[in-house]
Structure 1
Amino acid sequence: MNLPILAGALSTILFALSYLPMLHKAARTKDLSSYSLSNITITNVGNVVYSLYVFSLPVGPIWVLHSFYLVASALMLLWFLRFRAAHALTPTGTQLAEQEARS
């Protein structure tokens, strides 16, 4: 394996590992309130457009990394939409306190 391929493989692993805590926390807490729909949407559109370039290259570490980014950003968009709807239906601590105060 030559140095550029080794560097690409190592950086792919490091970048993917850096994303895993974010994905784990989002899946576990279902709280994506620190993200914006526009940012996640632009990320997904950018990844799809960038795919035209990446997948025209020879198969290599960049394919693995970009595929990971495609899946991760699509998951974040899906979870954002799904959890936002569920979160909107769940009363917050403040809303519960206000309901108790009125009772």
Structure 2
Amino acid sequence: MNIPLLAGTVSTVLFAASMLPMLLKAAHTKDLASYSLGNIALTNVANAVHSFYVFDLPAGPVWLLHTFYVVASALMLVWCLRYRKAPAVEQEERKEPWNRISTTGLTP
């Protein structure tokens, strides 16, 4: 039995499983306001650079884990850019309902 390979496989599954709730919530709600665009972009750059190192290693669980991280961070970046609201829209949504201007001419 190859203990290091088994440990790498188990940890890969656990790390990927720990990220799934974040990805599923982001995909479902499309609310990425709590995520920093700069951090997600920097993560994608770091993953791209780190890929040169990881894919130079012998194939194994680290390849799967890194590939998962690359895909997950790329998805988060795409979703963050796609679903990011314009600042004016966010400010309008923060206003109390009685301060909103109704498009129908009627106030709530």
TM-score range, shorter chain: 0.7 to 0.9
Q: How does 1:31-42 map to 2 (within 5 A)?
A: 31-42=31-42
Letter in 2 for 1:62: V
- Cα RMSD for the two superposed structures: 2.4
Describe the superposition over 1:13-57 as per-residue Cα deviations: whole angstroms up to 9, x where unpaired.
000000000000001111111111110011000000000000001
Q: Judge which range, 70-79 or 89-98, deviates more.
A: 89-98
Alpha-carbon separation, structure 2, partners of 1:65 and 1:55: 11
Alpha-carbon separation, structure 2, partners of 1:96 and 1:78: 31
TM superposition shift of 1:82: 0.2
TM superposition shift of 1:89: 5.1
**% identity of equivalent residues:** 58
Aligned residues: 103
Unaligned 5+ segments in structure 2 are none
- In the alignment, what sits opposite 1:44? 44
TM superposition shift of 1:93: 5.4
Alpha-carbon separation, structure 1, partners of 2:98 and 2:51: 48
Q: Tell me the TM-score normalized by structure 1.
A: 0.88
Q: Tell me the TM-score normalized by structure 2.
A: 0.84
Q: Judge which range, 93-102 or 43-52, deviates more.
A: 93-102
Q: SS at the partner of 1:31?
A: coil
- In the alignment, what sits opposite 1:64? 64
